[in-house]
Amino acid sequence: MDELNVISSEADSSVEQVEIPSKRIIKRRSKQEIYRNAVIKRFEGAPWVKKRSVTIGGIGGIGSNVAYVLAKWGYDMEIFEDDVVEALNIGGQMYFLSDIGKTKVSSMMSLIYDVNKSCKVVGRGRLEEDFREDSGIFPITFSCFDSIPARKLLFNMWYAKHKDNKEAIFIDGRMYSEGLEVFAVTPDRADRYRETLFDDVLEDLPCNYKATTQTGLIIAGLMTGLLSNHVTELVESYGVRELPFRTEFTIPLMRYETNR
């Protein structure tokens, strides 16, 4: 019995004493905080990602893709659009089968909030000539309409409000099935831009021909890229970022052409 006790005692004394650390207390972030920071922190430090307010005229083949990019940046948006999502829109616009029959504004607002809940979005419906709310038509405006009359109306409203604002920019995108052109208009370029507002000759083309998936993504990337150049120069004043007045791109030739 004593022998067994000795052996047991020796065994106990040979066991290494391990100190078990106390459990760390981890402070968990709320879902709201995670949502708020998830996207914006992805580009933290970039001068063009600081929250801004943007007006978007039209959220079809161009505007829906532009809004998607701006949601990634965390921008607040004011949207003018009175159309509903149809089945033929799915191929060339940032909508889904579950959106068919819903208004484009409500569908886009839902998508933006799913991407970044820090974004504030206001849906305005149709752009009317008598729209004069002080909160409307921000210095940064994207014209994504598929008609010249709508472009003219939005531009005239933007220019009337921001013609003396050197930081203002009006970015107009025009898309064809395999080509596009974009105009980056600052107040000092207004007269040049007005010369491009010719009679609308594309209205009779079906929208699924004017809006193809690949072209819509390219033009949205180009338009938001022009905005990032513009904003970066305002903040950093590098003097090296380009802001051409007109940019054209054709997919068959894979060729860009710019005009200062």
Instruction: Provide the residue type at 138 as one letter.
Output: F
The C-alpha atoms of residue 76 and residue 69 are separated, in whole angstroms, by 12
pLDDT of residue 129: 73
pLDDT of residue 170: 98
Given a cut of 50, is residue 8 above it in pLDDT? no
Give the end-to-end CA distance of the chain in Å, rounded to a whole number.
Answer: 101
Each residue of 22-54: pLDDT tens digit? 555 556 666 666 655 655 666 777 877 778 999
pLDDT of residue 122: 94
Q: CB–CB of 80/55 below 8 Å?
A: yes
pLDDT of residue 44: 72
pLDDT of residue 20: 52
pLDDT of residue 14: 55
pLDDT mean over 52-58: 96
Q: What are phi and psi of 54, to 5 degrees?
A: -135, 140
> pTM of the prediction?
0.82
Given a cut of 70, is residue 206 above it in pLDDT? no
% of the chain surpassing 70 pLDDT: 77
For the chain, domains (ranges, CATH) are 31-259 (3.40.50.720)
Q: Which residues are CB-contacts of 26 (< 8 A; sequence separation ≥ 6)?
A: none
Given a cut of 60, is residue 110 above it in pLDDT? yes
pLDDT mean over 58-77: 95
% of the chain surpassing 90 pLDDT: 63
Each residue of 116-163: pLDDT tens digit? 988 999 999 888 876 766 557 999 999 999 899 999 999 999 999 999
Mean pLDDT across the chain: 84
Local confidence band at 3 (pLDDT 50, 70, 90 cut-offs): very low
